[in-house]
Amino acid sequence: MKKDPKEIKGKIVDHRRVTPEYYVLKIQAPEIALSARPGQFIMVRLDDLHDPLLRRPFSFSRILPSKKKPGGGLAEGGFEVCYQVVGRGTARMTRLRKGERVDILGPLGRGFWREEGVERQLLIGGGIGIAPLLPWAEELAGKKGSAKGGAKEIRVEILLGGKNSDRVLGVREIKKLGLEPQIATEDGSLGLPGMVTDLLERELLSKSHKSTAIYACGPMPMLARVAQVAEQFDVPCQVLLESRMACGVGACLGCAVKIRAEGKDQMEPTSAPQGGLCGSEEEPEKSLREEMAVRISGAPFFRYGRVCKEGPVFRAQEILWE
């Protein structure tokens, strides 16, 4: 199967507001659904006007497998993305109608991969962060049933969090998979009052944590805390990161995230100062001094990775959390 990204026109087959905050867009795009993996994403171009200019990245919140037609070609397949109105692009997106076609680039990036040798797969979503975990839950829960003789049963558990009940997403979809999510809200309007990371700690403390793997998506502070807890309990942890992006294919280097670098700094700064993509002009000595300051203060070494290419799913310990 060819896994290269494609640029195609997808047909909107459904578009609905699922909570006061969140929308779900369902797009028919068999060529993309064919190779789409949970944790991967697409870049959507809303129209060919130049404002807003850039495509917007969205993770798959559901993958609807393509079927091969008897006479050749693909039928039916597609995907859903879940989004929240955060700016001009997503505001414009709410006006898309069923039947319209949108320009899709995808599937892109590295998705989730299965942590082997664990008995419990623990998925943690904060707010809209649950969306990309839904197809992963579906895949993991599906595999659970097919575990053959001798293999230990693998449990899939899901922890959901949000500011309030309106921001807790995916409960119905998770129940459809035969799973019962645990929920925490900051205002206590649904489930346990508190943070989803409190639920995580409770889970890891109460049961044998040695054979657990964590998959998480949500706001950066939440992910940083999840990473900390995972490290403390020494369990494997994958995180799906969000970032501003321009190209989505690894060319523009816009979606940089700090990646821990081993021992010595992998990318020594040169005496050349900071500049833009094509070299915007900046005061030289300042940045040089800053680089030196980082070295003298003994801050950890790092390099920049691309969220769109090396990610968006990373091992939590790869990231230099700040």
304 binds another protein (CB under 8 A): yes
Burial 127-153 (b: 16+ CB within 10 A, else e): bbbbbbbbbbbbbbbeebeeeeeeeee
Instruction: Enter the tokens of residue 112.
Output: 């989730």
Which amino acid belongs to residue 129?
G
Longest distance between any two alpha carbons in the chain, whole Å: 67
Nearer to another protein, 57 or 191 (CB): 57
CA distance 264 to 261: 7
Binder among 146, 268, 297, 298 for another protein (CB under 8 A): 268
Nearer to another protein, 195 or 252 (CB): 252
Binder among 271, 296, 297, 298 for another protein (CB under 8 A): 271
Minimum Å gap between C-beta 181 and another protein is: 32
Minimum Å gap between C-beta 278 and another protein is: 5
Contact 32, 106 (CB under 8 A): yes
The stretch among 21-29, 148-156, 157-165, 245-253 that binds another protein (CB under 8 A) is: 245-253
Nearer to another protein, 201 or 265 (CB): 265
First and final C-alpha spacing in the chain: 39
Nearer to another protein, 3 or 17 (CB): 3
The stretch among 1-9, 57-65, 70-78, 171-179 that binds another protein (CB under 8 A) is: 1-9
| Footprint on residues 47-106 left by another protein (CB under 8 A) | 48, 50-55, 89, 105
| Footprint on residues 165-224 left by another protein (CB under 8 A) | none
Nearer to another protein, 267 or 293 (CB): 267
Nearer to another protein, 194 or 250 (CB): 250
Binder among 1, 151, 272, 296 for another protein (CB under 8 A): 272
The stretch among 24-32, 113-121, 232-240, 273-281 that binds another protein (CB under 8 A) is: 273-281
Mention every residue, 6+ apart, whose C-beta is less than 8 A from residue 149.
none
Number of residues that bind another protein (CB under 8 A): 51
22-25 — which CB contacts under 8 Å span 24+ positions? 22/82, 22/83, 22/84, 22/128, 22/169, 23/82, 23/83, 23/84, 23/85, 23/93, 23/94, 24/61, 24/80, 24/81, 24/82, 25/80, 25/81, 25/82, 25/83, 25/93, 25/96
CA distance 133 to 60: 9
Q: What is the binding site for another protein (CB under 8 A)?
A: 4-7, 45, 48, 50-55, 89, 105, 243-257, 266-285, 303-304
